[in-house]
Amino acid sequence: MERIDLELSAFTRRAGSLLVAHSATTLARGLEPGERVLVHDRGHEVGYLTATVRDISFDLTDTHYRLELGARISADHAALLSGESRATAEAVEVSDILALLQAARALSAERSYRAGALPS
């Protein structure tokens, strides 16, 4: 997932949308409509937000992306999504993964039972 470093104003955070020029980013490639990106808000305690590219426009000198801001996420989650920190990804305990799988299995069994299927 691509990351864009910006300093968001209070108005932009309230509005939930912003226009970003490609030249104002450090992106190595252009973004596509519907693509999800990370926005690092350098000037606020929010830190990281998810965002979706809703529109792309062009002029003679630059490409502009209309981003719709989404959920706030922690720095650890942002590092995992952007693939920046392998050490953070390795810090996930096997027991955490097994607990998530067990919870998913229990939820699946419960839904099957409610739908009239025989429990396994």
| Count: domains in the chain | 2
Q: What is the pLDDT of residues 38-88, one digit of tens each?
A: 999 887 666 899 999 999 999 999 999 999 999 888 888 888 887 765 444
pTM of this structure: 0.65
Q: Do 54 and 23 fall within a single domain? A: yes
pLDDT at residue 116 in the model:
62
Does residue 103 share a domain with residue 67?
no
Domain match, 11 and 56 both: yes
**CATH number of the domain bearing residue 48:** 2.30.130
| 102 and 69 inside one domain | no
Within this chain, do residues 98 and 49 fall inside the same structural domain, yes or no?
Answer: no
One domain, residues 78 and 106 = no
Using the predicted structure, report yes or no on whether residue 91 has a pLDDT greater than 60.
Answer: no
**75 lies in the same domain as 105:** no
Specify the pLDDT at position 88.
Answer: 45
Residue 89's pLDDT is what? 46
Q: Are residues 8 and 26 in the same domain?
A: yes
* 3-state SS string for the chain: CCEEEECCCHHHHHHCEEEEEHHHCCCCCCCCCCCEEEEEECCCCCEEEEEEEEEEEECCCCEEEEEEEEEEECHHHHHHHHCCCHHHHHCCCHHHHHHHHHHHHHHHHHHHHHCCCCCC
For residue 98, the enclosing domain spans 92-120
